[in-house]
Amino acid sequence: MLLRQEWAEDAYCTNEIIRHRVKEVIVQEQTPFQKIEIYDLFDYGLCLFIDGIPQSAVKDEWIYHECLVHPAMVCSQRTDHFRILVLGAGEGASLRELLKYEFIKNIDAIDVDRQAVQLFQNHLKEMHHNSYNHPKVHLQFKNAGDFLKGTDNQYDVIISDITDVNFFNLGAVEAHKQADFYELIKRRLKSNGILAMHSSELTEIHYHKHLAMSKLMQNIFTKVFSYRAYIPFFECSWGFLLATNNQHLNPVDMTEGQFKKLMNSKMDLKFITPRNLRSIFTVPNFQNKSLESASYVRDLF
């Protein structure tokens, strides 16, 4: 939301107000699904808000997108026909990070909002680097739940950049329940496949929604890992989840030598390193205890 043509207000928090001073309004457009706002901010440069909630800013979006993509990729098992599914193609930055892996054969990118993606293609090139047009990327405009229900494809890694129950039902032929949606994802993963997803705030104060999502994932997958990174544009630590049925997967056990063998030096990652790959999977003990003892899924979903 733009206030007095000077400040963009972050609508995510209920009990807090965060405002960003706007240098220039680039786009304010209502699509059939959501309100798209693209601004040039004094502190964060080019940025994206959807329905008043900050999504990405060029100054720090690489933290979020490296965390969303690379932990799953470095933990995955290489196959001859390595396939990726991205649910919520959005501004294209996840595609940009995935395309750093030459062994990937195919990326199916799903987004419900054609009009929004066209705006991103035109105005957020600093984020997507023309990734939408790469020959490995196959962009489809449809609801994520409908796509999962209608495909027989099996994927090595699925990146879900949507966790809002209302959002993944936008434009759906039929409503998809939260648990059913992730059951569909599990069916579309190969036996040792990995789901990576963002999952709300994960701070010492605000963590209950993340724990609820983690608990839900534990009811569906054999192994679930929480991790987080501080995103300056969000002004908080943001949570992520890895989920898999691979009994042997543990991202914390990866050595520096294994990491370097899996990663190409030409990737030029700004955030993920062997050392902080392990550190981002460290969460406070009281949160782990809360996850083990509380029934957040029932309360929040």
The CATH fold assigned to 2-55 is: Spermidine Synthase; Chain: A, domain 2 (2.30.140)
Q: Is the pLDDT of residue 205 over 80?
A: yes
pLDDT tens per residue across span 43-76: 999 999 999 999 999 999 999 999 999 999 999 9
Q: Determine the average pLDDT of the residues in 114-124.
A: 98
Q: Mean of the per-residue pLDDT values for the chain?
A: 89
- b (16+ CB within 10 A) / e for 258-292: ebeeebeeeeeeebbeeeebbebbebeeebeeebe
Catalytic residue among 40, 152, 161, 268: 161
**What does DSSP say about strands 82-87 and 7-10: parallel, antiparallel, or unpaired?**
unpaired
Please determine whether the domains at 2-55 and 61-300 fall in the same fold group of CATH. Answer: no
Is residue 299 over pLDDT 80? no
Q: Where are the domains of the chain?
A: 2-55, 61-300
Active site residue 161: yes
pTM of the model: 0.92
Higher local confidence (pLDDT), 126 or 18: 126
CATH fold of the domain at 61-300: Rossmann fold (3.40.50)
- Structure token digits, residue 165: 């129950």
Q: What is the pLDDT of residues 145-183, one digit of tens each?
A: 999 999 999 999 999 998 665 666 666 677 678 889 999
